[in-house]
Structure 1
């Protein structure tokens, strides 16, 4: 995403909370699904490049986030959903890991947002 003349690619996206979707829908009761989704991602973004957190607004995302960046956020959000989904009945979970899980997704340096 372009901000202050610089392309910002690295981001940290947290798992969405139930209240995030409710708040986004309440903020845009007549809004298009895409607008609600964009507001939801704004709420999930903990960090976006070197952009100050208070500058990551819906207006900024609407005007500067590319469709490619939006697709990357969608992909990362879907991956978070898979990672934190409860195991399906009958699936093997294997042995417990001693490595703590992170609640964030960060893209590789070659991906964008």
Structure 2
């Protein structure tokens, strides 16, 4: 699939949930809060694994997940309160987040149809 710039453009489009050519904290929160906690296969299915936890345990896990997502998003956007255009996103991915960014994107690719 093309060069790094093209790959990053695809990643940008996955995060740009409202398709306004800027990624803001709400875009990232919307996507990350809806990632499945458990996956089984390419597009994920939490049904089998979640059966081994009580509803209360699942609720607490989701609550913890959401607070971690909010902490991550607020730290990312502390320097970009208005959001990031593609060039800022590219710089952030290459300079600041490195391997973490690519691991998150790889997870999206494997489990979320975008």
Q: Under a length normalisation based on structure 1, what TM-score does the superposition of the two structures give?
A: 0.29
Q: In proportion to residue count, which structure has more helix?
A: 2
Relative to its length, the structure with more strand (as a share) is: 1
